[in-house]
Amino acid sequence: MFDTNVFGTMTLTQEVAALMKPQGGGAIVMINTQATRKPMPGESGYAASKGALAVAVKYLARELGPHGIRANSIFMGWMWGAPVQGYVRHVAAEQGMSEDAVIAPVTAQIALGRMPTDEDCARAALFLVSDYARAVTGASLDANGGDFMP
């Protein structure tokens, strides 16, 4: 988990930062998870690896800021896309219940009353790399429909 989520991400970040410095800036967005803030069964290793990225982004913002490079984190929660749809189908079949019955307790905890789609979350990440966020660095953005509110 750490090899991919931390060491792989940080290696890629070093390579990208080396290219961004001569061009005078850029934006880095770490894709994170609300599991670092809202413990969920079976997610401890994943959450710990993503928690390391949450800390790293603050250091990256400070270290890369003088080069015009912004670094931020976006924290995703439940996302209505292929992986979650497959999970819902599997649980529904395994427990002999409807997919709506599987989804209902999850969406009941989300302020918007629905799971954000993969596209919804991608748009939030695009905001962080856009010029609309040019004054934002070292920040964390929750893109989870209000499932977790710090």
Say which CATH number the domain at 130 has.
3.40.50.720
- What pLDDT is stored for residue 75 in this prediction? 95
- Other beta carbons within 10 angstroms of residue 95's beta carbon come to 10
Both 72 and 139 in one domain: the answer is: yes
Both 16 and 42 in one domain: the answer is: yes
- What pLDDT is stored for residue 41 in this prediction? 85
Per-residue pLDDT tens over the stretch 57-108 = 999 999 999 999 999 999 999 999 999 999 999 999 999 999 999 999 999 9
Question: What is the chain's length?
Answer: 150
Tell me which residues are annotated as active site: 46
The residue ranges of DSSP E strands in the chain, in sequence order, are 26-33, 69-76, 140-143
Q: Structure pTM? A: 0.89
% of the chain surpassing 90 pLDDT: 92
Residues spanned by the domain of 131: 2-77+118-143
Mean pLDDT of the chain: 95
